[in-house]
Chain A
Amino acid sequence: MAGEMTPAERTAAALRFEEPDRVPLFLFFTMYGAKELGLSIREYFSRPEYVAAGQLRLLKKFGGDCVTSFCYAASEVEAWGGEVIFRDDGPPNAGRPPIREADEIEALEVPTVEESPSLLFGLRTIELLKREVGDDVPIIGSVVSPFSLPVIQMGFDAYIDLLYGEPDLFWKLMAKNEEFCVRWANAQFEAGATAVTYADPLASTDMTPLDLYRRTGLVVAKRTIPRIRGDVATGLASARALPVIDDLAGTGSVGVGVSTFDDLAALKRQSAGRLAVIGNLNAIEMCRWTPARAETEVKRAIAAAGPGGGFILSDNHGEIPWQVPGSVLLAISAAVRKWGAYPLEEASL
């Protein structure tokens, strides 16, 4: 491959299952930009200008191949009336779920993007990023899947009870969540997003039995993803993807974010030509890695999934923790350039 590609060209080639100039690197920074700007996490998430500035500084410093408008998952539940809890050393978290009783589902109104400050914040961030990176760097947006959103809408245990015991209410909630998800995803594309992550951890057999998923979450995904007007990659937020790869390939997704517990080489074989594989560096262990360990892990992942394209190196959850040292991130960036250049060297395989 002659010449260096832009991050957008590199990523597009990988998604076409072609070998770009090198393996793309997606470093999903959420709150990490606050460090760069010397702000508290709460301050950082108070203005889209801060988030956009943080993303651009991190892009330059660590040499990744994307920026993201995603701030924290709780911003979606905020639109539904939920609370967000900030802390100094980690991502803002969802507070008590806004749906306290299942019978509240009937009267639940689907929020509009235009009237949801937390979503408008995300759209403004995308616009600011787009103004700076144009078409050269992919801007990755995010939606929580209609099937997984109830974990923070009503609490995981209450949702499992609903899923198993209240099918009518479950489907009513899905209809509302689908509408919300499609509106929110399409608004991000209209603002300038290049692709959207469809966060659906409950699609994993770690969370939901396969037969139940096929009767519920898969049906929801097949109805929802085709209504989204742009590229969608399904992320399982650290949960294992291999047992559901064939199912995910039928949803309209173009890629899948996979777990550090997945067998990356097996995943690549199983999804070849259908879903690009995104992963699977262990973001929790990464906090204690040395630069040498980071290089070893990058090399391992590239050897397992790099050949033939269709692979984007990333973490396994979609978020770099606050506690990961900058030296480790620089080592990851250097290692993908050393070992991820196509054609891959024998030594990296």
Chain B
Amino acid sequence: MGPEFQDLPGRAAPLSSSGDELKEALLGVDRMRAGKIIRDACAAGSPVDCIEGLIIPVLEEIGRDWEQGQVALSQVYISGRICEEVVNTMLPPGSPSRRHRPKIAIAVLEDHHTLGKQIILAVLRAGGYEVIDYGSGVTVDSLVESVIRDRIEILLISTLMLPAALRAREAIARIREAMPEVRVIVGGAPFRFDPALWRETGADAFGCSASETLEAVRMMGGAVWPER
């Protein structure tokens, strides 16, 4: 994380009883139970309250547990997918109730391993964000062109192998030339194994996990519904 994000991990409050139940259902891949817990807990309030008060804290805790070796990456992915599915029923994609700003996009740079991207997509969408998916195997040229064309405000770059992580530097430099205000978060295995590497890319932050990335997006762009 960049200096402004360094104190993010570990400052979360304990989960509510609904949160504990939801976490257990998600880690057990119990879609039915997870859906029922979310719907029951949210019956009295709006989808927005449900996302902010229940879903995001649970997904953040699962992400932190993965960083500490307490849950597996497959569980992080499945948890995000289940929450995304439930949120989509309450707050369909494209709904005016979702926040479309800041304008966020994600891409897998020069690689076709999409798991990291899919996890981040699921978690951000479960958190009420609209995210443009540029897909996998994206070249530097294509990424620069897309980000400038779409006037992206927060760009998430996912990598798996070292050469792609190193190529992020060129992409970020070229994007900043045209759009100095863009915020960039990089993620992927090379940055986990070399904690100093992300700074060389010129990114604003490194998302070690889905929860860290979500936190960084929230800090960069404000909460999803800042006016509430």
Contacts and interface: CB of A to CB of B under 8 A. Distances in A.
Interface of A: 85, 87, 89-91, 93-97, 151, 155-157, 160, 163-164, 205-209, 212, 238, 240, 243, 260, 282-285, 287-288, 321-323
A282 B72 contact: no
Given A96-B137, A205-B69, A90 B194 contact: no
9 contacts: A85-B137, A89-B166, A96-B112, A205-B72, A206-B69, A208-B72, A212-B72, A284-B197, A323-B162
Give the interface centre of B69, B73, B161, B194 by most chain A CB atoms within 10 Å. B73
A209 B190 contact: no
Given A95-B137, A155-B114, A207-B74, A284 B163 contact: no
Nearest to B74: A160
B163 A282 contact: no
Given A207-B72, A238-B193, A157 B118 contact: yes
A89 B163 contact: yes
Contacts of A240: 69
Nearest to B164: A90
A85 B71 CA distance: 32
Secondary structure at the B interface, as helix, strand, loop or mixed, is helix
B71 A285 contact: no
B34 to A, nearest CB: 13
Nearest to A237: B189
B223 interface: no
A90 B163 contact: yes
Secondary structure at the A interface, as helix, strand, loop or mixed, is loop
B77 interface: yes
A282 B194 contact: yes
Contacts of A94: 112-113
A205 B68 CA distance: 11
A334 to B, nearest CB: 23
Contacts of B72: 205-209, 212
B114 A157 contact: yes
B65 to A, nearest CB: 11
A86 B75 CA distance: 32
Contact of B110 (A87, A207, A323): A87
Contacts of A90: 161-164
Contacts of A160: 74, 77-78, 115
Contacts of B77: 157, 160
A95 B27 CA distance: 31
Contacts of B74: 160, 163-164, 207-209, 212
B43 interface: no
B194 A97 contact: no
B132 interface: no
A284 B193 contact: yes
Interface in B102-158: 110-115, 118, 137
Contacts of B189: 238, 284
A207 B72 CA distance: 5
A64 B140 CA distance: 37
Contacts of A87: 110, 163
Given A90-B162, A205-B69, A207-B72, A284 B112 contact: no
Interface in B183-204: 189-190, 193-194, 196-197
B29 interface: yes
List the 6 closest A-B pairs by CB distance, nearest first: A90-B163, A156-B115, A284-B193, A157-B118, A284-B194, A209-B72
Contact of B193 (A208, A209, A282): A282
A323 B110 CA distance: 17
A97 B73 contact: no
Contacts of A212: 72, 74
Nearest to B111: A93
Given A156-B113, A323-B162, A288 B196 contact: yes
A323 B194 contact: no
Contacts of A91: 161
Contacts of A157: 77, 114-115, 118
Nearest to B160: A93
B190 to A, nearest CB: 5
Contacts of A96: 112, 137
A285 B193 contact: yes
B73 A206 contact: yes
B197 A207 contact: no
B193 A260 contact: yes
Contacts of A321: 162
Interface in B67-112: 69, 71-75, 77-78, 110-112
A209 B162 contact: no
Contacts of A323: 162, 166
Nearest to A158: B114
Contacts of B137: 85, 95-96
A94 B114 CA distance: 12
